[in-house]
């Protein structure tokens, strides 16, 4: 039975087997290259590098703003506009400011969670910070920051998982809200009966307010860029 036919068929089948093996090898190789853990690591690395890039860009923004300021200062023709510009920058949050005001510290309820407790009631939420900032503005605060993030006209205060986004930076408890303004006004505005501070305390959230003689509030570190909004021409505005 050891015929030519047998050998030929074995040869052909072996060839087919070889082709299948080779394709399988190739597929397995390329498959292992993008296994899930590798992908997670890859993404983590990407996030890290992008974050580093962002930090570098933030520094660049600050240094460029400094240079711009220097240029403006040397130009004597612009000198009369400096005061106006300073005011505009201050209200836009583009320069660090200091002055008397209050420091509010808000932290989660320190009590251990019992079974059945809703953890949402003992945490500080984005809405709490929003309300406090709103109250501060109502009480005449001129500059506000939360954990070193300057609140500007474009700042958001938003829940992001377990943390809170302010100026697209993540901040976590304890939250330190600094506000510059008349300290007595600010304090009485915040401690008003049935005010928001009081309702936070009722929930067990730690909220303290103290007056300070000198508070420094940093500048907004992001870039200010308008893509869609255009200033309306003076003539058009006049009518």
Q: How far is CA 45 from CA 57, 71, 80, 154, in A?
A: 18, 39, 49, 30
Q: How far is the CB of 6 from other proteins (least distance, A)?
A: 5
Is 7 a binder of other proteins (CB under 8 A)? yes
Q: How far is the CB of 9 from other proteins (least distance, A)?
A: 5
Q: How far is the CB of 31 from other proteins (least distance, A)?
A: 5
User: Quick one: 5 or 119, whose CB is closer to other proteins?
Assistant: 5
Cα end-to-end span (Å), the chain: 108
Q: Which of residues 8-67 bind other proteins (CB under 8 A)?
A: 9-28, 30-31
Q: How far is the CB of 58 from other proteins (least distance, A)?
A: 41
User: Quick one: 18 or 174, whose CB is closer to other proteins?
Assistant: 18
Compute the distance between CA of residue 70 and CA of residue 64 in angstroms, rounded to an integer: 10
Q: Under a CB-based contact definition with an 8 Å cutoff, are residues 138 and 183 in contact?
A: no
Binding-site size for other proteins (CB under 8 A) equals 27
Compute the distance between CA of residue 143 and CA of residue 87 in angstroms, rounded to an integer: 12
User: Three-state DSSP class for 91?
Assistant: helix
Can you give the binding site for other proteins, defined by CB under 8 A? 1-2, 5-7, 9-28, 30-31
């Amino acid at each position: 039975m050891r015929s030519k036919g047998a050998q030929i068929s074995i040869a052909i089948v072996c060839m087919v087997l070889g082709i299948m093996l080779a394709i399988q090898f190739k597929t397995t190789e390329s498959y292992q290259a993008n296994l899930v853990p590798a992908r997670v690591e890859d993404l983590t690395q990407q996030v890290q590098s992008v974050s580093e890039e962002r930090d570098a860009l933030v520094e660049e923004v600050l240094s460029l703003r400094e240079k711009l300021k220097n240029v403006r200062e040397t130009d004597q023709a612009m000198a009369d506009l400096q005061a106006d510009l300073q005011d505009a920058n201050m209200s836009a949050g583009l320069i660090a400011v200091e002055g008397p005001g209050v420091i509010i510290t808000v932290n989660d309820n320190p009590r251990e969670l019992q079974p059945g407790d809703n953890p949402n009631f003992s945490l500080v939420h984005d809405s709490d910070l929003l309300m406090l900032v709103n109250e501060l503005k109502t009480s005449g605060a001129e500059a506000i920051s939360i954990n070193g993030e300057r609140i500007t006209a474009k700042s958001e205060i938003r829940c992001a998982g377990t943390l809170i986004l302010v100026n697209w930076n993540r901040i976590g408890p304890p939250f330190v809200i600094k506000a510059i303004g008349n300290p007595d006004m600010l304090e009485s505005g915040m401690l008003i009966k049935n005010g928001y501070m009081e309702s936070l305390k009722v929930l067990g959230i730690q909220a303290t307010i103290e007056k300070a003689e000198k508070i420094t509030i940093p500048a907004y570190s992001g870039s200010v860029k308008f893509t869609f909004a255009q200033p309306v021409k003076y003539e058009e505005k006049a009518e």
